[in-house]
Amino acid sequence: MMKKNYEFLEHTADIGIRVKAKDLKALFKNIALAMFDVMAKRNSDLSPQSSKLKKIIIKQRAGSLEELLVNWLNELLSLSAVKESIFTDFNITKLDNDNLEAEVFGEDIKNYKLNTEIKAATYHQLKIEEKDTGWQAEIIFDV
């Protein structure tokens, strides 16, 4: 099981998280990992990676880094629903202010117990900041 790499923020109706990482690519990856960790837990009786992971290529364009993050997460949520998969690994191959390219790896949703349905990632109080030690983001999900 993944060690939690995020903390919860207080929000009355929805779920907010704060995520840290050494660089921007790792930040985008960690937020995606955290989002799927909130959504689902892998069935404990399964051996690790007992099924083959499906690879999907994602390309996103946006007008700003914030927009790119929201689009990235919402694209993952949407694909997760359509492909009936939980994404567990992310290889971000390209990331600048307005472009993202990534390979994402998913496993059949049947191997998971679903806890929380996340409808979408929102812009509300969204923060992406560069700190002395790396990058930090805060984001609120509509659940």
Partner 1 sequence: MSDIWQGPLEKLNDYCWRIPKSYKPGMRVAGIIYADERLLKDIRQDKAPEQVANVAFLPGIVNASLAMPDIHWGYGFCIGGVAATDPEEGGVISPAGVGYDINCGVRLIKTNFQYEEIKGRIKDLIYVLFSDVPSGVGSKGEIRVSEREEREILVKGAKWAVEKGYGTEEDLECTEEYGAMPGADPLAVSQRAYERGKAQSGTLGSGNHFLEIQVIDQIYDSKLCDEFGLTLGQITIMIHSGSRGLGYQICDDYTRNMIHCLSKYNINVPDRQLSCAPVNSSEGKAYFSAMKCAANYAWANRQCLMYLTRRAFEKVFGISWEKMGMKLIYDVAHNIAKLEKHIINGKEKTLCVHRKGATRAFGPGHPALPPRYKKTGQPVIIPGDMGRNSYLLVGTQKAMEETFGSTCHGAGRIKSRTAATKSIDADALLRELESKGIIVKASGKATIVEEAPQAYKDVNEVVDVVHKAGISKRVCRMRPLGVIKG
Q: Which residues bind partner 1 (CB under 8 A)?
A: 8, 10-15, 39, 63, 66-67, 71, 74, 77-78, 81-82, 84, 109, 113-117, 119-120, 122-126, 140, 142-143
Size of the chain in residues: 143
Choose between 67 and 101: whose C-beta lies nearer to partner 1: 67
107 forms bridges with which residues in the sheet? Answer: 86
Write the CA distances from 97 to 23, 60, 61, 83, 110, integer angstroms: 14, 11, 9, 28, 36
From the CB of 70, what's the least distance to partner 1, in Å? 8
From the CB of 132, what's the least distance to partner 1, in Å? 26
Choose between 22 and 61: whose C-beta lies nearer to partner 1: 61
From the CB of 49, what's the least distance to partner 1, in Å? 22
From the CB of 36, what's the least distance to partner 1, in Å? 12
Q: Report which residue type is found at 84.
A: E
Choose between 22 and 119: whose C-beta lies nearer to partner 1: 119
Choose between 27 and 69: whose C-beta lies nearer to partner 1: 69
